[in-house]
A = this chain, B = another copy of it.
Amino acid sequence: MAAARDLFDNHGFHQSSMAELATAAKVSVGQIYRLFKGKEDIISAIVQADADERCLHMDALRNRLDAGELTIEQTFEQLLLHIVDEKDEALSFDIMAESFRNRPVGDTIAAMCVRFRRYIRDFACAANPDLSGEALDGAEEVVLACLFGLGHRSLSRPCLSATDTARLSARMIVAALRAIR
Interface residues of A (CB under 8 A from B): 10-12, 14-15, 89-91, 93-94, 96-97, 99-101, 106, 109-110, 113, 116-117, 134-135, 137-139, 141-142, 144-150, 152-153, 155-160, 164-165, 167-169, 171-173, 175-180
Contacts and interface: CB of A to CB of B under 8 A. Distances in A.
A2 to B, nearest CB: 19
B100 A97 contact: no
A169 to B, nearest CB: 5
A138 B100 contact: no
A125 to B, nearest CB: 15
Contacts of A173: 142, 176
B168 A141 contact: yes
Q: Is the interface of A mostly helix, strand, loop or mixed?
A: helix
Contacts of A157: 110, 113
A117 to B, nearest CB: 7
A100 B96 contact: no
A133 to B, nearest CB: 11
A142 B137 contact: no
Contacts of A139: 168, 172
Nearest to A136: B168
A9 B101 CA distance: 9
B113 A141 contact: no
A49 B44 CA distance: 33
Contacts of A171: 138, 180
Nearest to A96: B93
Contacts of A141: 150, 153, 158, 160, 165, 168-169
Nearest to A153: B145
A149 B91 CA distance: 18
